[in-house]
Amino acid sequence: MHIVIIGAGIIGLAAAHRLLDLGLEVTLVDRSEPTAASRGNAGIIAHADILPLASPRTILQAARWIMDPLGPLAVRPACLPRLAPWLARFLFASLPSRVQRSMHGIVPLQAMALPAWERLLGRLRLTGELNRQGMLSVFESTGAFEALKPSYRSQLELGIPLELIDGSVLRTLEPALSDTFQRAAFFPSVAHVNDPYELALKLAAAAADRGAQLMEAAVSGIAIASGEEPVVVLEGGRTLAADRVLVAAGAWSKRLSACLGDSIPLDTERGYNATIAGPGLVLTRPVMFEEHAFVLSPLKGGLRVGGAVELASTAAAPNWRRVEALLAKAHAFVPGLEEDGRVDWMGCRPSLPDSLPVISASRWSRKVVYAFGHAHHGLTQAAATAELVGALVSGDEPAIDLTPYSAQRF
């Protein structure tokens, strides 16, 4: 059986290995360099995150943040008319009853995340790509820390290890942090990778070694032939025949799914970051600054400063002042930070209003499977998604109920 995977990002690459495990012939097609989307990832396997982005807390924060054009969340005014339907769905998904519904999908997928990565990297002899120093969420305000206590209780009830610590303990773990931070939550089981881009390159090389074909081409659509076999249509008119097709094209998946009758409210969250090769200080583990919605990640290539969200089209020009705003905060929170070898980046996250990805067969044909819309958790959920895709393609029973991730739920 031959499967064409549209998209060679971290989701497509992880899925390729699972499908190769099942004995399928695999072709990966991407519009640009395979793995390009992994250049800006924070590198965290954030399986401890169980809250959807759409929530009453986010709405309250957004009302404050959106007044600052360089704050953690910004919306380009020119894009508001196009974004209005997505924003309306996001507000609906923030109702308490809908938050609980989203969590029923998030929790089992996150529970699969790290074990699935361990299985995948173990089979490929790449276990050294994972670092297990945990992650910190830090707070300047005890009030903001206390407000998250219910979430911490939920995580503990789900078996997620965490420790609530004060500022003195925090600074023994990460001496580089400013003494303005009063409290923190330490998640010892959270892992991060050496470098997400290098990991993606290694997955691509390993897939090629295992017989997968990697093709650089732009896909314009998907058709169903008279014999009900899917056909991938490339720009310029060339076609690729396949027994199965997997759409894992991230922010560009909406148009492809529409070819098959699925109207999916996928939109783009643009993320910004800077990677500093010579930061002049050492962090042992990722640090999330909860009140400011940004993260510092120590990666093989340097310290990555990221987290800003901007709602705008994929074609809009970058606003690099957002990176400068992130770095201004980083300088305040980690005194002594230097910027030697700094590289700025902007990329597009495929985001759905209910914070759940689409992992599902298409409406018109079960021979076309979707795996996209992971937003901030693409790296985290990639290996778990790959296992679920394998079950969809092979007809096996998936490890978890896939109903929450259906393309038809909208």
What are the residue ranges spanned by the domains of the chain? 2-39+198-265+355-409, 51-94+130-191+268-351
CATH pick for 51-94+130-191+268-351 out of 3.30.9.10, 3.40.50.300, 4.10.780.10, 1.10.10.60: 3.30.9.10
Cα 332 to Cα 321: distance, rounded to the nearest angstrom? 17
Helices (H), 22-166: 56-65, 80-93, 96-123, 142-147, 149-157
- Residue 360: helix, strand or coil by DSSP? strand
Q: Amino acid identity, residue 400?
A: I
d(CA 204, CA 404): 29
DSSP class per residue in 188-218: TT-EEES-HHHHHHHHHHHHHHTT-EEEE--
- 2-39+198-265+355-409 and 51-94+130-191+268-351, same CATH topology: no
> What's the pTM value of the predicted model, to 2 decimals?
0.93
Element of type H or E holding 44: strand 44-45
Give the H/E segment covering residue 16: helix 10-21
pLDDT tens across the length of the chain (410 residues) = 999 999 999 999 999 999 999 999 999 999 887 666 677 788 999 999 999 888 888 777 776 666 666 677 777 777 788 888 888 998 899 999 899 999 999 999 999 999 999 999 999 999 999 999 999 999 999 999 999 999 999 999 999 999 999 999 999 999 999 999 999 999 999 999 999 999 999 999 999 999 999 999 999 999 987 768 899 999 988 999 999 999 999 988 999 999 999 999 998 888 889 999 999 999 999 999 988 888 999 999 999 998 867 887 777 788 888 899 899 999 999 999 999 999 999 888 899 999 999 999 999 889 999 999 999 899 999 999 999 999 999 999 999 999 999 999 98
CB atoms within 10 A of CB 196: 27
Sign of the C-alpha dihedral computed for residues 129, 305, 167 and 337 taken in this order: positive
CATH code given to domain 2-39+198-265+355-409: 3.50.50.60
Interstrand relation of 25-30 and 213-216 (parallel, antiparallel or unpaired): parallel
For residue 144, the cross-strand partners are none
d(CA 55, CA 99): 6
